[in-house]
Amino acid sequence: MSGPSATWSVENKTKPKLALYWAASCGGCEIAVLAIDEKILQVADHFDIIFWPCVVDGKVRDIEKLPDGAIDVCLFNGGIRTSEQEYMARLLRQKSRILVAFGSCAHEGCIPGLANLSTREEIFNTVYRDSVSTDNPTKVVPQTETEVAEGTIHLPLFYDTLRPLADVVPVDYTLPGCPPEAENIWEALQAIMDGQLPPRGAVIGKQTTVCDECPRTRSEKKIKGFKRIWQVIPDDTTCLLEQGIICCGIATRAGCGAKCPQVNSPCIGCHGPNEGVEDFGARMMAALSSVIDSKDPAEIERIISEGIPDPVGMLYRFSLASSLLKRSRLPRRQEKAEAGQPQMAMAAAKG
């Protein structure tokens, strides 16, 4: 199959095809690709960039017309929040030989995934009605279908739940980080270019945690109280956790070079869990609770409530959408609708 408008990309057989896509994410990952600096020219040299809506013009219908597997590599950033994103995820999966979940949002949901603590209705109310900067006298909220003089216009369906890419389509590789570090992106791209890829399904990164790369001195841990970062100026040689600052480096996959702890800022966990870990936040909780230095339940309660006022935001900052619980409980009537979500999604996207 080769429609006239798709031939421009399929004709050039010598270069592998690269696509990049941006779903529910901030856009930082797009910029991160450019952080490899002048090496982007080598990338452009090596690949035929077939689809990158942020940077070059391209049409979804051109992608739809490609044969399956025509794209060699697709770097997909962002989680799946809308029917359109789900459609694009499925489309790019079908057309790509290698689909890479690029960055924390695609990997684990990241900050957008924290909205899984709310329902669609609550999110819409905050964004379109309740926030102080909103001026919406007629209380308009997005509708999937709107009748106008010219006919019916469509918007994608906004789901109650944000899902990481791998919960929607099979993913071949994951590049962690918020955003992934330039050197890791470059290494991954080089590996792809050289055909030196790890086994399918791998997270490209190390199999240990940030402490491994952190130069701070670590001792046995006994913590009498947790401190927020504005409460203390940490010394720059001792393990931050031992100073009472919640540093997620203990549980976070290494590969970043421990950048944050090196500048006196605790690791917040953007590289996600280490190999084989089911639930990042649960690991953090188990680890932290193990080193609280008290046997008195009341004191332990105080240490936790004073030091960790927002456990989800602190320990599931990046991973809520991929955690074992995935989201807060939906009201019952909505659970049914949620179960039927993929079908509705496709209907809306196609319509």
Partner 1 sequence: MAERIGVYVCHCGSNIAGTIDVEEVARWAGANLEDVVVAKDYKFMCSSSGQQMIEEDIKTHNLTRVVVAACSPQLHERTFRRACQNGGLNPYLFQMANIREHISWVTTDKAAATEKAKAIVAAAVRRVRHHKPLEPLPVQVNPRTLVVGGGIAGIQAALELADAGYPVILLEREPSIGGHMAQFDKTFPTLDCSACILTPKMSEAGQHPNIKLLTYSELEEVSGSIGHFKVKIRKRARFVREDRCTGCGICVEKCPTKVRDDAFEAGLGFRKGIYIPFAQAVPRIPVIDKEHCIYFTRGKCQICGKFCPTDAIDYDQKDEILEFEVGNIILATGWKMFDCTRIPQYGYGRLPNVFTALEFERMCNAAGPTGGKIVLRDGKTEPRRVAIIHCVGSRDINYNEYCSGICCMAALKFGHLVLEKTKAEVYSFYIDMRTNQKGYEEFYQRLLEEGMKFVRGKVAEVTNADRTEEEKGRLVVQVEDTLTGRQRRIPVDMVILMGALEPQEDAFELARKVGISCSTAGWFTERHPKLDPVATMTDGVFIAGCCQGPKDIPASVAQGAAAAARVAGLISRGTVWIEPIVASIDEEKCSGCRICNNLCPFNAIEFDPVKQVSRVIVALCKGCGTCIAACPAKAITGAHFADEQMMAELEGALWDASEEALAAIVGSKSQQELPVIGA
Q: Given the rule CB under 8 A, which of 38-46, 118-126, 139-147, 163-171 is the region that contacts partner 1?
A: 163-171
Near partner 1 in 117-146, by CB under 8 A: none
Q: Is 297 in the site for partner 1 (CB under 8 A)?
A: no
Q: How far apart are CA 321 and CA 110, in angstroms?
A: 7
Alpha helices in 83-130 (DSSP H): 83-95, 103-108, 110-113, 120-125
- The 3-state DSSP class for residue 193 equals helix
Place of tokens 């009748």: 147
Comparing C-alpha atoms, which of 317, 320, 309, 110 is closest to residue 228? 309
Near partner 1 in 62-121, by CB under 8 A: 64-66, 68, 87, 90-91, 93-95
Q: Is 283 in the site for partner 1 (CB under 8 A)?
A: yes
Task: Output the CA–CA distances (angstroms, integers) from residue 142 to 24, 35, 122, 254, 333, in the order listed.
Answer: 17, 35, 13, 40, 21
Dihedral angle, C-alpha 126, 127, 130, 132, nearest 10 °: 120
Dihedral angle, C-alpha 7, 11, 13, 15, nearest 10 °: -70
Give 159's contacts (C-beta < 8 A, 6+ positions apart).
80, 81, 82, 83, 120, 338, 341, 345
Q: Is 307 in the site for partner 1 (CB under 8 A)?
A: no
Q: How far apart are CA 148 and CA 132, in angstroms?
A: 30
Comparing C-alpha atoms, which of 73, 60, 79 is closest to residue 33? 73
Instruction: Please select the residue that binds partner 1; options are 29, 71, 245, 250, rule is CB under 8 A.
Output: 250
Instruction: Please select the residue that binds partner 1; options are 251, 308, 314, 321, rule is CB under 8 A.
Output: 251
Query: Least separation, in Å, of the C-beta of 119 and partner 1?
Result: 19
Q: Is 350 in the site for partner 1 (CB under 8 A)?
A: yes
Near partner 1 in 196-215, by CB under 8 A: 201, 207-212
Residues 30-69, one symbol each (x = binds partner 1 by CB under 8 A, - = not), give ----------------------------------xxx-x-
Instruction: Please select the residue that binds partner 1; options are 113, 244, 273, 307, rule is CB under 8 A.
Output: 273
Q: Is 5 in the site for partner 1 (CB under 8 A)?
A: no
Nearer to partner 1, 11 or 212 (CB): 212
Which strand (E) or helix (H) includes residue 296? none
Length of the chain: 351
- The 3-state DSSP class for residue 115 equals helix
Residues 220-249, one symbol each (x = binds partner 1 by CB under 8 A, - = not), give xxx----------------x-x-------x
Q: Is 168 in the site for partner 1 (CB under 8 A)?
A: yes
Size of the site for partner 1 (CB under 8 A): 52
Query: Least separation, in Å, of the C-beta of 284 and partner 1?
Result: 6
Give the interface with partner 1 as residue ranges (CB under 8 A): 64-66, 68, 87, 90-91, 93-95, 166-171, 201, 207-212, 218-222, 239, 241, 249-251, 254, 273-278, 283-284, 286-287, 290-291, 322, 326, 339, 342, 346, 350
